[in-house]
Structure 1
């Protein structure tokens, strides 16, 4: 499916979203990225409701890149919802955040996150980290039945 979203980017900071998309482009991994700006929009997209009710819930992204600190619904709540529903529970979720708080890390893994990555402050390291994440989840990882 040429228009199927491969990466759902959940990021409220436009600068971080732009950098993430740029890093994915660097490795030719940005063709099918859907950027949502808050947790509410992420849930609407994933469950095909609200402004995304026209899409099929069966068209799942290959990976969700999820910021923790988002407006309306925070990233941990989004993660819990993803893991609660049979339609979405197998989608790989990577937390991509600036939070190094132990509680955030522990809760993320308790809720079933696949990976927790702290955004590097250094621009080049940030680009490399995002490119590596995209490369792994889109090209190297072998997903189970989705």
Structure 2
């Protein structure tokens, strides 16, 4: 395993979101098309992000993302899939826009319907609020 590279430390919700993005079909296809000499380092990085994401996912989280909240106050568990209607309501956008976001890498097509990870949608909503 390579050593730490300054500026490459990813943890918490960032690791979780990046792990989901890296697993999306569009990104996975791009990664498969890279030259063979790039793959070992990228695969190692993806595995490290995956480990950090799993560690984050083991923490209890509130809707706002604070790992300090007591377990009884915990919102829907990480990995909870929501519909485009629910995502639209959380983001304050139309269901059509939520489908566009899902197709753009934030969701997965399951049984002909788009589903999104609730924690990814909440992280995106927080990013929009702070921008």
Same fold per superposition (TM over 0.5)? no
Higher helix fraction: Structure 1 or Structure 2?
A: 2
Q: Normalising TM by the smaller chain, what interval?
A: under 0.3
TM-score by length of 1: 0.25
TM-score by length of 2: 0.27
Bigger Rg, structure 1 or 2: 2
Higher strand fraction: Structure 1 or Structure 2?
A: 1
